[in-house]
Amino acid sequence: MKRHPSLIPFSKHHHQALLLGQILQKNSPPYENIPADAKGKKEYFVSQHLELLKYHFDMEENLLFPFILNLTGDFRNFVDEIISEHRRMEILFEKIQNEADPKEAEDQLGKMLIAHVRKEERILFEDIQKKLNKNQLEELTKLTAGLDSTIGNCKI
């Protein structure tokens, strides 16, 4: 299903998160201009992506999720699951920043990011587009119109 304009800013973040997820995994292929060692990946993650991921989680939790939950309770369990995943990923953010050798945390975060994004795109966003009517989607478009899809230094 083609993505509704109200969800495009989130989908752009998701695209960047998918690429980051691949980069962070242990056996990732080399990417041009992106470090391959754990220390380099750590510096790359912190300098290029951490701010975007935190912003993205904040926008979902404080804008998107309250909006859809206010319209229908159908999303409650799924949203709770997504928020729980956000908290688990934030723990991994801290581990990556604070551990001398963050290789395992990077690998875990990479795998989790990919699974998380796919779940949101393939299940949540599809359901939002099916369950919300045209007027509700337009209202959501107004709310998301000012969202930035390239926060901080994020460059892939």
Rounded distance between C-alpha atoms, residue 48 and residue 80, angstroms: 28
Q: Judge whether 128 lies within some domain.
A: yes
Q: Judge whether 150 lies within some domain.
A: no
| Structural domain of 132 | 5-24+36-144
Quick one: average pLDDT of 12-30? 91
pLDDT (0 to 100) of residue 153:
46
pLDDT (0 to 100) of residue 38:
81
Rounded distance between C-alpha atoms, residue 137 and residue 35, angstroms: 40
pLDDT (0 to 100) of residue 87:
98
Are 23 and 44 within 8 A, CB to CB? yes
Rounded distance between C-alpha atoms, residue 130 and residue 124, angstroms: 10
- Reported in sequence order, the residue ranges of the chain that DSSP labels E, i.e. its strands, are none
More confident: 73 or 115: 115
Q: What is the mean pLDDT of the chain?
A: 91
pLDDT tens for each residue of 30-76: 888 888 888 888 888 888 888 889 999 999 999 999 999 999 999 99
Q: Judge whether 155 lies within some domain.
A: no
Per mean pLDDT, which range of 5-19, 30-44, 76-90, 93-107 is the poorest? 30-44
Are 126 and 143 within 8 A, CB to CB? no
Q: Judge whether 30 lies within some domain.
A: no
Give the count of domains, the chain. 1
Q: Judge whether 45 lies within some domain.
A: yes
pLDDT (0 to 100) of residue 75:
96
